[in-house]
Structure 1
Amino acid sequence: MSAETDALVQQIQQSLALLRRHLDWDAALARLDELNARAEDPALWENAAAAQSLMRARNHLAAGVDSVRRIERETNDARELLELAEAEQDAAMIAEAEGTLRALAEDAKRREIESLLSGEADGNDAYVEINAGAGGTEAQDWAEMLLRMYLRWAEKRGYKVDIIDRNDGEQAGIKSATIQVSGANAYGWLKTEAGVHRLVRISPFDANARRQTSFASVWVYPVIDDTITVEINEADLKVDTYRSSGAGGQHVNKTESAIRITHIPSGIIVACQTDRSQHRNRAKAMDMLRARLYEAELQKREAQSALVESAKTDIGWGHQIRSYVLAPYQMVKDLRTGVEKSNPDAVLDGDLDAFMAGALAARVGATRSEASAQAS
């Protein structure tokens, strides 16, 4: 095999070693056998909620085990095909085998990153809240650019998006917006976007075409279901009604159907204007509040909670996670991981996977060398 092909095989083996390590392979196989046996018990479905929970756990574990076995099997097949092709000097077959190995290396790397999405709520849908920083129209226009970026990212992944709340700026852009993104591992991916985002560009709102720096914040929290209980004291809530804004039909700006709820002890504020019904908007806002409080509790349990909270102090200098520079040069750089892209237009059109993967991959950087040694 060529040096390039050798490197591809080693890359696949390293990814598989990390996947096995993450799964705790022997324990995962034993657990899967146990779940399969329990799934065949007719009495299981006497408790539908428990049965559904068990089947979700079984299917998730089976998918992880099956992917490792499939990649390993297809890698061995491709290597055998390549050896045969090289022996027969069949250029077309060599190219086919090398192409298969490249695809398998990408697949293994992607699954290695996805294996990091094992947090308590990583598989859940997500709320994404965007707020413009100080700076009036400039910051509000930047906030709307971020909103579009996440809408495009979700669209490319086939995720469903609902706009829960939108507060338009006076001249352009948005003061704030909240969306719900629904799809597999939506929260696990999007949680890497939480923080302050900085834009540098020639201002389209300045007659003198001066360079402007704008900030906007992005907070992400998981959608939670009825299996998670979050106690909220009604006495701790301040509830305001207001007229909806933005596109939405004749009722917009005519009825006070929109709801804003402030949780006084935590200072958390949520808002919803997605429905004509004030009652349904209140119910949705309460769901969002429970999710925010749950996310706050998750952050307390995480080792990096102090870093996350410090990033939320101000929407301004020193707290940004990513810089988007459109002038005098073109670059997007993640300040946590060093991941860079020289095509800001593509990034602002939803090309975020490299940044998200980089943020997740940084969590296992310390284990890669050990896994590499085990694979060799």
Structure 2
Amino acid sequence: DYEDGDEAGIKSAAISIEGENAYGLLKSENGVHRLVRVSPFDANARRQTSFAAIEVMPEIENDETIEIRDEDIEMQVYRASGAGGQHVNKTSSAVRLIHKPTGIVVASQQERSQFQNKDNCMKMLRAKLLELKAQQHAEKISDIKGVQMKIEWGSQIRSYVFMPYQMVKDTRTSFETANIDAVMDGDLDGFLNAYLTQLATGELKK
């Protein structure tokens, strides 16, 4: 489920990843990622820095311990945007749910049916509420994002540098590699293993 950017690229995207221990492995990616490269959208080929915030949530089908009352939810419908053929922009099938007690906002537009999009939203909302419940000390919704901070300089968990040299480095574990092409193609094993090892041993930097 994605939304095009105002100028170029993707503004936001939601993806579902399935597999053994998917959440346990990929929770290391939760946080702010910093990219330094020559922007393909800049005619002057200047080096630019971009930031992306990633949230990793488990998919929760049903959990009786999480109660979501109808009166606590505000539902908004709107027209889907982006690629999708004749269906796009003809019907208001996209759904946004606002959980009023916590301020959590979730949205889905990839399905053709408003009901399917609402179902996706409920899954995401349930996952976020379960994460919030797991952190009993959490006083505000921003706390469920773990180590994620504001999208700005100094807050990144990992940097991907294409120019003037090539290096990917994780600021929490100090794990790094110069093989940036492999990382961009999905080779994250080194980063995942370093994070989980240090998390287990209590050596992870905050």
Distance 1:187 1:310 in 2: 14
Change (3 A) 1:307 1:234: closer
**Secondary structure of residue in 2 paired with 1:201:** strand
TM-score norm. by structure 2 comes to 0.88
Given candidates 192, 200, 205, the residue that maps to 1:364 is 200
Match of 1:284 in 2: 120
* Structure number with bigger Rg: 1
- Does the Cα contact within 8 Å between 2:29 and 2:56 map onto a contact in 1? yes
1:134-149 correspondence to structure 2 within 5 Å: none
Given candidates 166, 183, 203, the residue that maps to 1:330 is 166
1:264 aligns with 2:100: yes
Change (3 A) 1:327 1:217: same
Give the length in aligned residue pairs: 200
Per the TM alignment, residue 233 of structure 1 is displaced from its structure 2 partner at its CA by 2.5
Identity %: 56
Per the TM alignment, residue 257 of structure 1 is displaced from its structure 2 partner at its CA by 0.4
- Does the Cα contact within 8 Å between 2:93 and 2:109 map onto a contact in 1? yes
Q: Deviations over 1:15-67 (max 9, x none)?
A: xxxxxxxxxxxxxxxxxxxxxxxxxxxxxxxxxxxxxxxxxxxxxxxxxxxxx
Distance 1:296 1:321 in 2: 21
Per the TM alignment, residue 339 of structure 1 is displaced from its structure 2 partner at its CA by 0.6
Q: Deviations over 1:99-141 (max 9, x none)?
A: xxxxxxxxxxxxxxxxxxxxxxxxxxxxxxxxxxxxxxxxxxx
What amino acid is the match of 1:285? C
Change (3 A) 1:192 1:228: farther
What amino acid is the match of 1:283? D
Given candidates 212, 235, 238, the residue that maps to 2:48 is 212
Change (3 A) 1:226 1:309: closer
Match of 2:181 in 1: 345
Per the TM alignment, residue 266 of structure 1 is displaced from its structure 2 partner at its CA by 1.7
TM-score norm. by structure 1 comes to 0.50
What amino acid is the match of 1:295? E
- Does the Cα contact within 8 Å between 1:237 and 1:264 map onto a contact in 2? yes
Which stretch of structure 1 is more off in the superposition, 334-343 or 218-227? 218-227
| Structure 1: 5+ residue stretches without partners | 1-164, 368-376
- Does the Cα contact within 8 Å between 1:311 and 1:320 map onto a contact in 2? no
Match of 1:186 in 2: 22
Runs of 4+ in 1 over 4 A off after TM superposition: 306-310
Per the TM alignment, residue 299 of structure 1 is displaced from its structure 2 partner at its CA by 3.7
1:58-137 correspondence to structure 2 within 5 Å: none
Name whichever structure is richer in helix by fraction.
1
Match of 1:63 in 2: none
1:229 aligns with 2:68: no
What amino acid is the match of 2:119? A
RMSD: 2.3
| Structure 2: 5+ residue stretches without partners | none
Per the TM alignment, residue 235 of structure 1 is displaced from its structure 2 partner at its CA by 2.3
Change (3 A) 1:276 1:334: same
